[in-house]
Amino acid sequence: MIVVTGAAGFIASCLVSRLNQANFNDIVVVDNFSVVKKESNLKGKNIKEYVDRDGFFEWLDENYEEVEFIFHLGARTDTTEFNKDVFDLLNLNYSKKVWNACCEYQIPLVYASSAATYGSGTLGYDDDEATIPLLKPLNPYGESKNDFDIWALQQTAKPFFWAGLKFFNVYGPNEYHKGKMASVIFHAYNQIKEKGSMKLFRSHHPDFADGEQMRDFVYVKDVVEVCMFLMRHRKNSGIYNLGSGKARTFMALALNTFEAMGVTPEIDFMDTPENLRDNYQYFTEANMSNLRSIGYDRPFYTLEEGVKDYVQNYLIPGKYY
């Protein structure tokens, strides 16, 4: 059996689908299944068992001998939430329990970290484990992810294989439920569909023109391919960046969305909300050399390819992956 936590969410539900495509059908999904708007993410997938996140460790104590691999992707991901206790509970302490269980039962583990750990990027975006304790995230979400990375690296007891993945700006199908935390492409599509135009945040940084803020946008289909690779690879444990390796502007993202929809571009700018300005990243770009060095050689979707596939094959027909 393969366990996927956070399975009703965006990235994890896409991973369940990809596992099914590879004929892995004994999937145990772990989540808080009371969130109705996430139900469609798992509809039609081959799933062996649903386990509530609060009962997971009891379930694992009884079933660990059958578990081949754990993907721990469940987390509170709201970057605008500032209650540190929420993140300590769901991101830090829950992850420690997953780690310790994987050590006890000798189960390999891949877990979700985040590019939010890099903060403003003053130390760059290299996944060098020596710099991880020096990073200064800009919000409690990023802090919780960095705190767990630091804790994991300090442990003398480790799963025989483990990898933490620093997800950059992931976009793609199955994020319909995410509301304000969905990708900019999702929001752009809906604005364009409704109004024929869209708004981007104005720049409040002298080095960046409006719309020229840059992010490493990575398509969710690439994210799940890396997860599949690591499940099979099972060596070279460590913390890895997971982006496309190429920063692109929000303007390019917007123009590609208009093109994929066949709509003439009309873009306006609005001020970035004041409560976000101090914590706003103007540039992110994953150094992907570490993952490449252990043998991952698949090309990543370009922004053009990813936006076109997402818009035309999922958003327009309202489909799930």
Residue 10 marked in a binding site: yes
**Pairwise CA distance, residues 311 & 30, whole Å:** 29
Residue 153 marked in a binding site: no
Strand-strand pairing, 214-215 and 248-249: antiparallel
Residue 203 marked in a binding site: yes
- Whether 132 and 114 have beta carbons less than 8 Å apart is answered as no
Q: Which distant-in-sequence residues (6+ apart) come within 8 Å of 214 by Cβ?
A: 208, 247, 248, 249, 250, 282, 283, 284, 285
**Pairwise CA distance, residues 116 & 106, whole Å:** 29
Residue 145 marked in a binding site: yes
Residue 75 marked in a binding site: yes
Whole-angstrom distance between the N-terminal and C-terminal Cα of the chain? 21
Catalytic residue at 189? no
Please identify which residue in the block is written with the tokens 């492409």.
Answer: 185
At 52, phi and psi to the nearest 5? -65, 140
Residue 63 marked in a binding site: no
Residue 29 marked in a binding site: no
Residue 249 marked in a binding site: no
Residue 169 marked in a binding site: yes
Structure tokens at 162: 């483990």
Nearest CA among 19, 29, 88, 26 for reference residue 56: 29
In eight-state DSSP terms, residue 183 is: -
Residue 170 marked in a binding site: yes
Structure tokens at 246: 């190429």
Active-site pick, 178, 199, 246, 308? 178
Catalytic residue at 240? no
Active-site pick, 118, 141, 301, 310? 141
Residue 187 marked in a binding site: yes
Residue 256 marked in a binding site: no
Residue 280 marked in a binding site: yes
Nearest CA among 90, 102, 97, 100 for reference residue 144: 90
Residue 38 marked in a binding site: yes
Please report, in range form, the residues annotated as the binding site for substrate.
Answer: 169, 180, 187, 201-204, 215, 280
Please report, in range form, the residues annotated as the binding site.
Answer: 10-11, 31-32, 38, 53, 73-77, 145, 169-170, 178, 180, 187, 201-204, 215, 280
Catalogue the active-site residues: 141, 178
Please report, in range form, the residues annotated as the binding site for NADP(+).
Answer: 10-11, 31-32, 38, 53, 73-77, 145, 170, 178
